[in-house]
Structure 1
Amino acid sequence: MSSVQLLSKLWKITQFQRPFVIGMIHVPDGIMVENMHDVPYVQEADICPAITAHMTRACMAVNDALGNASNQFLRGVQILAAANQQAVAVAQACGFDFIRAECFTFSHVADEGLMSACAGKLLRYRHSIGADNIAIITDLKKKHSSHAITSDLSIGDVAKASEFFLADGLVITGKSTALKKENVFLEVQQHSKLPVFVGSGVTDKNVSYFKKADGLIVGSHFKENGYWMNRLDGRKVRNFMQLVRRLKREQ
């Protein structure tokens, strides 16, 4: 799935109205499955087969729950930490549309250790298993990481490099989940023609700043007290989506 095909499915689902909302397990427009509770995370080389197997099982459970409506949703998977090849394999096996990749271009120091760029290896692996239909959206200077070794590069530079290295979409976050990023979003849009997703920190208080984003990935805000480990708060989901629908109508 190229960036054009990814956008095409986004528009088909949302009827050409931004922003598209991807919930981490929950939400109308799209769904992303992530092993966020699997702390402490390990790097790709240390991902055991059980993690990949259980993520496959979780993604198939999503398909079963959606039934015949599966293709009406954009479905994605991320396997922490930076287990991008495993995520591609799971997405292909489960008929999902995309993965969220870490450290696609350039290196950084994460809480799991030093992460190295993976674009060349990842895209060759994707092709080798016949999974070119799986889109790769990638974090830029991702949260919870140190980027001192690339401090001479702006996030726009990283966006441009990721597009050159054939990413299908870009994800912006911040140093932590709750950081505002309106200016960062605008800078990335100026440096790349790829779809831009806001990957964390979106709430009902700031969602209006991102109405021109191609997608919003929302997790913590939908939980009780806004804490990612808590239970889902259905009322917060409904209120947020009502606000998003209103923003779409105003465009």
Structure 2
Amino acid sequence: MVDSSPARTHAELRGIIGMVHVGALPGTPRGRMTPQELVTHAVREARTLRDAGFDAIMLENMHDRPYLGGGIGAEIVACMAAVCAAVRAAVACPIGIQILGGGSREALAVAHATGLEFVRAENFVFAHVADEGLMTEAAAGPLLRFRKSIGADHVQVFADIKKKHAAHAITGDIDIAACARAAEFFLADGVIVTGTETGAAVDERELNSVRAATKLPVFTGSGATTESVARLLSNADAVIVGSFVKEGGRWEHAVCPKRAADFVNAARGARRVEAPGMDAVRAMFSGRPSGT
């Protein structure tokens, strides 16, 4: 049985992770840019976030809508690998990746090949109905066996629980705290709590419940603003932010240097170490929780 006491296995760290939404990739309905243009765009966005003071960066192919529910093509994996390698060379901070939809295996392979620190897995435990279709199988078992087989145990897997853009009637009798405990039992390296959709605020009662249910690092994955970030960081180890730091607060726009800097400034009051910055977040990503 998993010990559900709130004691933590990590130091009291607080981090902010900025999203780079890679342009629509080749072969997707809105794909217009060449691979080199995609690389240039992503590197520019990553540098803007770094210069604003973000602790870590996550790359995601969100512009590839509508997403496939699996069967992600080689062209997507190849372009994401090229983008990740370029961003890795351009910025010296922890970097993660998510490949939509349900592309945790592909993301893990790209992270391993390009030297990234973490992946975000959207269907790690329990089945659910996502906007791209029914995700019938939890990814944890196959994903962690794949990680072991390619020698990528150093790449951490942060798992969404009760993920956004999905219906959870299938698991309506399982609350989010139980999902967090299941993710811990299935050897996730951290759990992510989100709102119902991109840009939607996290239910802070759910965040508190998850914080009490698991020893794993807890992240928020949507809806953070300058008004909410300090409060969120009172219970979360890190906040992932995309929409707020974009021009006009819209995820599909470019990163706005002023909004990004304002977000960093708002988060500083929530830090629980004197000078966390990049070193503290790197420590979070490099230190593996007990039992994994």
TM-score, normalization: structure 2?
0.76
User: Which of 70, 78, 83 lines up with 2:103 in the alignment?
Assistant: 83
Gaps of 5+ in 1: 1-6
User: Which of 39, 43, 55 lines up with 2:65 in the alignment?
Assistant: 39
Q: Give the match for residue 94 of structure 1.
A: 114
Q: Give the match for residue 185 of structure 1.
A: 207
Q: Give the match for residue 234 of structure 1.
A: 257
Tell whether 2:229 aligns with 1:203: no
Q: Give the match for residue 57 of structure 1.
A: 82
Q: Give the match for residue 41 of structure 2.
A: none
Tell whether 2:147 aligns with 1:126: yes
CA distance in 2, matches of 1:236, 1:250: 24
User: Which of 105, 109, 113 lines up with 2:133 in the alignment?
Assistant: 113
CA distance in 1, matches of 2:273, 2:203: 22
1:175 deviates by 1.3
- Give the partner amino acid of 1:35: N
Tell whether 2:158 aligns with 1:137: yes
User: Which of 157, 161, 169 lines up with 2:182 in the alignment?
Assistant: 161
CA distance in 2, matches of 1:114, 1:218: 26
Q: 1:165 to 1:148 in 2, by over 3 A?
A: same
Query: Which 10-residue stretch deviates more, 207-216 or 144-153?
Result: 207-216
2:271 counterpart SS class: helix
- Give the partner amino acid of 2:265: Q
Moved over 3 A (4+): none
1:232 counterpart SS class: coil
- After superposition, the C-alpha distances for 1:62-82 in whole angstroms (9 at most, x for unaligned) are 11212xxx2xx2210000001
1:208 deviates by 2.1
- Give the partner amino acid of 2:88: N
Quote the RMSD (CA, aligned, Å).
Answer: 1.6
CA distance in 1, matches of 2:96, 2:176: 24
1:125 deviates by 0.7
- Give the partner amino acid of 1:179: A
Q: How many residues were matched structurally?
A: 232
- Give the partner amino acid of 2:16: V
> Contact (CA 8 Å) 1:141, 1:174: kept in 2 or not?
no
> Contact (CA 8 Å) 1:101, 1:136: kept in 2 or not?
yes
1:23 deviates by 0.4
CA distance in 2, matches of 1:245, 1:164: 33
CA distance in 2, matches of 1:135, 1:163: 13
Point out which structure has higher relative CO (alpha carbons under 8 A, 6+ apart): 2
CA distance in 1, matches of 2:58, 2:139: 21
Gaps of 5+ in 2: 1-8, 21-45, 275-292
CA distance in 2, matches of 1:150, 1:41: 23
> Contact (CA 8 Å) 2:201, 2:223: kept in 1 or not?
yes
Q: Give the match for residue 4 of structure 1.
A: none
- After superposition, the C-alpha distances for 1:35-77 in whole angstroms (9 at most, x for unaligned) are 0111111022x200000000001101111212xxx2xx22100
- After superposition, the C-alpha distances for 1:166-193 in whole angstroms (9 at most, x for unaligned) are 0000000021231332111100011110
